[in-house]
Amino acid sequence: MLKRDLTGYEGKPPHPHWPGGARVAVQFVLNIEEGAESSIVNGDTQSESYLHELVGRLPRVGKRDFSVESMYEYGSRAGVWRLLDLFGERKLSLTAFASGLSLELNPKIGSALVAAGHEVAGHSYRWLDYQNVSIEDERRDIKRTIKIIKRITGSPPSGWYTGRASLHTRKLLDVEDDILYISDSYSDDLPYWQSGMSKKLIVPYTLVNNDMKYLMPNGFPSGEDFFLLLKDAFEFLWKEGKKHPKMMSVGLHSRISGHPARAMAVARFLDHIMGFNSVWICRREEIAKHWMLVHPEGVKSIR
């Protein structure tokens, strides 16, 4: 039976000693998935049915859905550049969770990310549910994605997030020496080590501070809602960070927050947190490397 860790740091988290004495480390993730979604073009049996503007639309079996395809294409054609401009204008860095096929189809995005000083982490080759993929095919997709990222950016990824991971994902990543951390977890506000479950550092991600909620039933109707969620989360963590510093992840998607009204919410939040002192806005690999230096053995939360 697989172990679960329901105790974590048991209310006594280790001090992260963020650079500059920061109270909170804020980390933005830009998901690059466009072109890697389900599509007849990619050899799939149906069109994509998840995380697009037509919430509840059934997939078209054996047929293309041009409306859904074009919604994804908005992300790679327009949205990604708008979001990169927002961060570039403010000289802020982010981490891209990039699907291998997305970069293969649009390598200039990868080049632009590197030129701007952003991190490119692996997001597997396809944007699929890997529960239904064989271990051999998943291994192939992991290795293929690492090679693609290295070819386009000049360096292999140091981080990984599959999203819809399989029971084999962590085991497959354990043998990849270049991968320092995994983000397929939503279970904490700090990185942690999992003795007996993974050799890699876990740097948790979020589905709470995530723009995907625009596209969920009863989700955000406007950018104001997303901004207020992020603002409240940040301010709470900043106050809490006087005694117990934490990290805050924010999940963005080019095809979602890349639209003008939603991009405005991102811009407002960036400007808001830049008005605070003791804040470290960074890449995930920076968090991982810092944690490994400060807590090289980790605090083994499974004993």
pLDDT tens for 215-258 read 998 889 999 999 999 999 999 999 999 999 999 999 999 999 99
- Indicate the Cα dihedral angle 279, 257, 224, 221, nearest 10°: -150
Residue 195 pLDDT:
73
Cβ-in-10-Å burial (0-12, 13-18, 19+) of 291 comes to: buried
Mean pLDDT of 157-180: 95
Report the chain's mean pLDDT, rounded to a whole number: 94
Of the options 3.20.20.370, 3.40.50.720, 1.20.1080.10, 2.40.180.10, the CATH number for the domain spanning 19-294 = 3.20.20.370
Q: Which two tokens stand for residue 59?
A: 């997939």
| Confidence at 56, pLDDT banded by 50, 70, 90 | confident
Percent of the chain with pLDDT over 90: 87
pTM greater than the 0.85 cutoff: yes
> Is the predicted pLDDT of residue 32 greater than 80, yes or no?
yes
- Token pair of 128 as six digits: 């699929």
Q: How far apart are CA 272 and CA 286, in angstroms?
A: 22
3-state secondary structure of 27: strand
Which run of H or of E encompasses 109? helix 107-115
